[in-house]
Chains A and B, each alone.
Chain A
Amino acid sequence: MSKHTLAVLVENSPGVLARVAGLFSRRAYNIDSLAVGPTENPEISRMTIVINVESHSLEQVIRQLDKLVNVIHIAELKQDESVQAELILVKISATAKNRFDVDAVLETYDAVIVDESSETLTIEATGDAAKISDLLNALERFGIRELAQSGLVGIERGSRSLAERTLSVQSIPTAESGQADYQN
């Protein structure tokens, strides 16, 4: 099994998330995380999907995804050729006594405090999977009370964008009347 990150551009139409999720479920593909959000183009949404597959079936996953009419483009984001990040909000136990230790951890990981109470601190941090997991390990000793974690999002390094490579749309003439023979 190996992990792969896919960036998937989809038409921003109702039901598209259900189509993608349904496909993964019925073909028994393992999703580690899925994040959906808007893009620079209001008609297009972007999904970042982390899947766990045997290497030979990654191609199969991509081809099945590509069969969904609302899926416009799929790209694999390779670790070293992309920037990837997830977001966490974590509530830890913190008192005046250990506040100093907490601050030291937060500084190491570029994390910030976004809310506090007399017994807790809520911390926000972003980063790739390794950094987030290290941070959580470091916070473990204070006592993690609650964790909210987003799916991973990613983008390719460099100046090119996925959209400009893929959105050259061809239009298909329809028959004025009578059934068009689209195959031949």
Chain B
Amino acid sequence: MGKKMSGASSLVKSLESAGVDVMFGIPGGAILPAYDPIFDSSIRHILVRHEQGAGHAATGYAQVTGRVGVCIATSGPGATNLVTPLADAAMDSVPMVAITGQVPSNAIGTDAFQEADIRGITMPFTKHNYLITDPDQIPRAIAEAFYIASSGRPGPVLVDIAKDALQKETDFNWPKELSLPGYRPQLEPVNQSILDAAALIAQSSKPVLYVGGGAIKANASKELLQLAELLGIPVVTTLMARGAFPDSHPLHYGMPGMHGTVGAVTALQKSDLLITLGARFDDRVTGKLSTFAVNAKVIHADIDPAEIGKNRFADVPVVGDLKRTIAALIPAVKAEFAKKSPDYSAWNASMNKLRATYPLGYDLPKDGSLSPQYVIERLSTLTGPEAIYVAGVGQHQMWASQFVKYENPRTWLNSGGLGTMGYAVPAAMGAKVGAPDTPVWAIDGDGCFQMTNQELVTCALNNIPIKVAIINNESLGMVRQWQTLFYEGRYSNTSLESKRIPDFVKLADAMGCIGLTCDRPEDVDSIIKKANSINDQPVVVDFRVFKDAMVWPMVAAGTSNDDIMIAREMAPDWDSQEL
């Protein structure tokens, strides 16, 4: 027999038993019983200003620490405010547990006050979810939720608990073991698939390591570095994988995809073997799928068997944990190379030449105004690769991926799959809570910032001194870029006028943060240094940048990667390259 207590106490004890040290949330009627034992718990509860902030903060915390992020909300609107961060976490495979209160079990289905069927709503984008009406089931549900969220391909799990289940008396029994007959993630790769992969690598002449976010989730950076150096071939890291492999490494070609480097996009495109590690052939990477890397065979290593063959046929599927997969692949490749050592030198030489011809770059604005790319480049140089960078969604996100130099995993956070504007500030808050001694810079758009900046109040009150660089181009810049390119410059509803309203410095000040502003190139360094020197308060810098800057290179949506443009109406000069 366990200890007698309320369902609410059982919930909090369960969260403690699951190892939770912090959670983000807002109370309300249905979850209120739980907030009483939370008051006495060792778990730090951070009171946010909007449940969406709680959800993204849990994500930021999880992405930085590798642990499960936890958020908590009341029924109805509290729960529905978690919908976006849950969908976001599902798309980016983030381990998260969301706890929501539900109306009392006898009121479920009656359209009771603040009733929303959050279990039904979140079915499509949670890894699993629960509706608990019996307090005795709370510990098991919580234990399962943490196990499911953090094992296999990580993802969000929601536990919805009826108010009466929180109020009733129950025995607290933390389960010693779990039995989930329908959930058996395969961690160990099948040996034959490793041997097949190694053989295919040895036969190839133009192989590329196509690395996705799974490499970071699996903590496989060390093994990846060994494999890359053993093979000596181009490595590309997707938007979700930036930091999995050092940007400074000579084998690194940067990011592939819609705004990828010419080198990375072309290496995939011309390859005869894609060694795909924890990546999922997303449309933003492949461009028009039928024209993607048409001459390449595919090794596809992923922990989620459903990713294999979903978008692209895999010649050699390898299901398993990526750290183990790469560790197993290294000796298998060595054994193959001992038989016959392949010669990738011609391939490397042509890719090297291409990369050298088309490095990432940007033009400075002719009117002398501030270049957004320059700001981000300086931010990276002056702050360094040990810091954590968190982006919103839009042009600034792409520039932050391109122009910040990443050397370490878990230092680049962004909303890759869902593309959630408003992600940056709360995710940076969660990141800072997870890594309190590391500088955390949110690189946010003026549009995104206006969606979730209220969490700066939470940061200011809870000693979470993040820094925010608003890349203020007074517009929904990415949408504006598409209007420039595809809608004859008809700027329908993309002007935010945010150099006029709001006054970001005053807004920062009102929220208990230090507000700084910068609109001259010559002030950029000193203002970044000043922001970096402030560590006891959140800082917001309004970088007032040139509004017509564009993100290049670009593969227009739905077109082939072969049609990559390096600037407006400017394709690479393919004739001068031998590919």
The chain A residues found within 8 Å of chain B, CB to CB, are 10-11, 14-15, 18-19, 22, 26, 56, 59-60, 63-64, 66-73, 166-167, 169-184
Contact = CB atoms under 8 A, between A and B. Distances in A.
18 contacts: A11-B182, A15-B119, A63-B305, A64-B306, A67-B304, A68-B182, A70-B128, A71-B182, A170-B179, A172-B177, A173-B177, A174-B177, A179-B18, A179-B19, A179-B67, A183-B150, A183-B187, A183-B321
B146 A179 contact: yes
- Chain B residues touching A, range: 35 or more
Contact of A171 (B178, B313, B323): B178
B150 A182 contact: yes
B150 A69 contact: no
Interface of B: 16-20, 67-68, 119-120, 123-124, 127-128, 131, 143, 146-148, 150-151, 174-184, 187, 218-219, 304-306, 308-310, 313, 321, 323
Contacts of B175: 174
A18 B304 CA distance: 22
B290 to A, nearest CB: 14
A174 B176 contact: yes
A60 B306 contact: yes
Interface majority SS (helix, strand, loop, mixed), chain B:
loop
A173 B175 CA distance: 9
B143 A69 contact: no
Contacts of A56: 309, 313
A184 B324 CA distance: 9
A68 B126 CA distance: 10
A174 B123 contact: no
A14 B182 contact: no
B177 A175 contact: no
Contacts of A176: 17, 174
B309 A172 contact: no
Contacts of B304: 67
A179 B179 contact: no
A19 B123 contact: yes
Contacts of B17: 176-177
B475 to A, nearest CB: 34
A59 B307 CA distance: 11
Contacts of B313: 56
A15 B131 contact: yes
Given A63-B305, A183-B151, A173 B182 contact: no
Given A69-B127, A70-B128, A170-B184, 6 more contacts: A68-B182, A72-B181, A172-B147, A173-B176, A177-B174, A179-B20
